[in-house]
Structure 1
Amino acid sequence: MRKVLMVVLACFSLQGVALERKELSAVSINEITADTQAQFEGAGDSHVAFSWWVPYEYWKSVLTRDPNITQAMKKQMLSVLIDYSVIAVVQADISPLGAFNFYSREEMTKSMRVTYTAAGAEEVILKPDLNVDQEMQLLMAQFGPILKAAMGQMGANFHFYIYRDVDGKGKRLLDPYATGNLEVTVKTREGIPLNASFDTPLNSLFVPRVCPNGELAHVSWNYCPWSGKKL
């Protein structure tokens, strides 16, 4: 079904549609966070698993409005982050009494599979970068405690996988402005596969268009679903 949807998206490409990108400083942090976080499907009541895809645009949106960081430091951090996408994953079994038994990085790495399918293209398997710049490693080391402070043990048990986001010719590999699908697959300890999916373009990055009835149109829509009129 996913591949069929990708073919449909390719046939109704957004390239010919007038879409206005938001300034990243104006992007809602809540909206882009919602667009880039997904719960794995098929987990059941005794299991929990979340994935968070963190593209460069998220970092820039957050950093540009942070008054506690100097402009020089923002520039330095963004110069490091621009070459990477990060996928953070947390997974745990839940006991009958509600205790969380979190998965180790080693467990998750063995079963995790990440793929990206651009509109009209074949699925590509993505591998984490094993030669990440030291500065990027330092930035990610600081991100972990922030999640722990915000989410407790759930945040403390996120595992971060870093993917180089440009090819040898400087072309973007995981473009949140382009039509495509990013899919993350993990397995439970019993071997049951779980899937989390992110469709692009991300709605939060664009100025919303308005349907004739006043409802906001999602970035992926070419026609208003209420009136059938072309957007």
Structure 2
Amino acid sequence: MKRLLMIMVVVFLTFSHGALFGGDHLENVTLTELISHTQMSSKDDRSVRMVWWLPEEFWVISMRNNPAMNQEYIEEFSAVISGYTIFLVLDGTISPLGTINYAPFEETMNNLVLSTENMVRHLPLPRNAISSDLKMTLDMFKPVFSNMMGSMGQNIQYAVFRGEQDESLFSVLDSTNFTITIHDEVFRFNLPLVCFLPQKWCNACEKQFQGDYNFCPYHGIELIIKKSGQ
């Protein structure tokens, strides 16, 4: 337990300083890039809603470049989050007078659904179905967000999902889409996350494009992935 607490302190320090991710498909991906593809906010002017997916890569790679962490600690922490799909959620509405009213935890969870492309619906796990180590890990977010964001941070909740075979529902490199619905508002996530895909190259205009492009928008020719040394 003490070692897990130490790991969490290091994770939050790394998270706060926006460390670079490294290794495998995570090389050269920054924390800012990852958040831009996993955090979504409401487009409704009357709502203050946010959904933030925390894939396993967020946690593990946040520790990888920190000299205080060794492989044993990383593997121990990976075991805590393994098999879970985790989201941070904010659910608020703006009154006619401009004040923000945040929904209680139970109301948010009762009106939150994760849906896959093939229309399979998943509900958040009840708290007694989440491991004690994971609950402690997520609960440590609360004072961090409270200090950073005041009342808004205090009202950020976590929603946790798990597959029928005790596995996580998605990977950042999966070729699928899913949605999170809070009340009647839908947040759509497209996979694979483009920040983890290699850049592509157009031989005609010699320009680079993000990895989810298949054809050059200017010339219509198929883009290629340049290999090292090309």
Q: Normalising by the residue count of structure 2, what TM-score does the alignment of the two structures yield?
A: 0.76
5+ unaligned residues in a row in structure 1: which ranges?
Answer: 1-20, 188-192
Task: Report how many residues are paired.
Answer: 198
Confirm or deny: 8 A CA contact 1:223 1:229 kept in the other structure.
Answer: yes
CA–CA distance in structure 2, aligned partners of residues 163 and 116 of structure 1: 13
Amino acid at match of 1:56: E
Task: Give per-residue Cα distances to partners, 1:158-186, cap 9 Å, x unaligned.
Answer: 1101112x553x86531220211120111
Q: What does residue range 117-128 of structure 1 map to in structure 2 within 5 Å?
A: 117=117, 122-128=118-124
CA–CA distance in structure 2, aligned partners of residues 179 and 222 of structure 1: 15
Task: Assess, with a 3 A threshold, how the Cα gap between structure 1 residues 84 and 124 changes in structure 2: closer, same or farther.
Answer: same
What displacement does 1:194 show?
A: 0.8
Confirm or deny: 8 A CA contact 2:176 2:190 kept in the other structure.
Answer: yes
Task: Give per-residue Cα distances to partners, 1:100-142, cap 9 Å, x unaligned.
Answer: 211111111121111122xxxx221122233111111111111
The one of 151, 154, 163 aligned to 2:152? 154
Task: Give per-residue Cα distances to partners, 1:66-98, cap 9 Å, x unaligned.
Answer: 344454333211121122110111021223443
The one of 28, 47, 50 aligned to 2:30? 28
Amino acid at match of 1:39: S
Confirm or deny: 8 A CA contact 1:22 1:207 kept in the other structure.
Answer: no
Runs of at least 4 residues off by over 6 Å: none
Confirm or deny: 8 A CA contact 1:116 1:183 kept in the other structure.
Answer: yes
5+ unaligned residues in a row in structure 2: which ranges?
Answer: 1-22, 224-230
Higher relative contact order (CA 8 A, sep 6+): 1
CA–CA distance in structure 2, aligned partners of residues 79 and 110 of structure 1: 28
Percent identity, aligned pairs only? 24
Residue of structure 1 in register with 2:186 after alignment? 195
Task: Assess, with a 3 A threshold, how the Cα gap between structure 1 residues 177 and 23 changes in structure 2: closer, same or farther.
Answer: closer
RMSD across aligned positions (CA): 2.3
Q: Normalising by the residue count of structure 1, what TM-score does the alignment of the two structures yield?
A: 0.76
User: Residue 150 of structure 1: SS of its match in structure 2?
Assistant: helix
Structure 1, 84-93 or 212-221: larger mean CA deviation: 212-221
Confirm or deny: 8 A CA contact 1:22 1:205 kept in the other structure.
Answer: no
Residue of structure 1 in register with 2:210 after alignment? 218
